[in-house]
């Protein structure tokens, strides 16, 4: 019975130490994952800031750089010719139909 108690105490100590060790490792990883976000003006890409605010040139709200990439990079395709693509709206060079924005 005495050996069983000692064995149970050892198991409890090992489990509690491993739980605390995992918790501190997770907290260290969270600190490393912080990513700096840069903000830019959609009208003036040369205006870059490290926090959100207003563009000093036009007064528009600054947007995160990754969000701006998604908004700016649109792809347009011809409804009749799926192989015809463009990054600007306009007319298809093959048939003259209006290009439609491609859904992602």
- Considering the domain boundaries, does residue 30 fall inside one? no
Partners of 48 in beta bridges:
40
The radius of gyration of the chain from alpha carbons, rounded to an integer in Å, stands at 28
Q: What's the confidence (pLDDT) of residue 100?
A: 87
Same domain, 62 and 41: yes
- 32-38 mean pLDDT: 63
Interstrand relation of 100-101 and 76-77 (parallel, antiparallel or unpaired): antiparallel
- Considering the domain boundaries, does residue 78 fall inside one? yes
Contact 86, 76 (CB under 8 A): yes
pTM of the model: 0.34
Same domain, 95 and 67: no
| Confidence tier at 102 by pLDDT (50, 70, 90) | confident
- Considering the domain boundaries, does residue 90 fall inside one? yes
Q: Closest Cα to residue 101, out of 76, 81, 84, 82? A: 76
Contact 31, 54 (CB under 8 A): no
Same domain, 39 and 69: yes
- Considering the domain boundaries, does residue 29 fall inside one? no
CA distances from 51 to 40, 41, 54, 60 (A): 9, 12, 10, 14
| Confidence tier at 28 by pLDDT (50, 70, 90) | low
Whether pLDDT at 7 is above 60: yes
Same domain, 69 and 39: yes
Token readout for 94 is 């093959």
- Identify the domain containing residue 80 by its residue range: 74-104
pLDDT in tens, 37-80: 888 888 887 888 888 899 998 998 988 876 444 455 678 888 88
């Amino acid at each position: 019975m005495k050996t069983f108690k000692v064995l149970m105490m050892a198991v409890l100590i090992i489990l509690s130490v491993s739980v605390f060790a995992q918790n501190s490792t997770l907290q260290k990883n969270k600190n490393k994952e912080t990513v700096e976000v840069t903000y830019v003006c959609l009208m003036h890409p040369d205006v870059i800031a490290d926090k959100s605010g207003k563009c000093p040139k036009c007064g528009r709200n600054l947007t995160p750089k990754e969000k701006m990439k998604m908004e700016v990079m649109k792809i347009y395709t011809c409804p009749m010719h799926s192989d015809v693509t463009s990054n600007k709206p306009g007319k298809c060079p093959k048939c003259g139909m209006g290009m439609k924005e491609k859904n992602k």
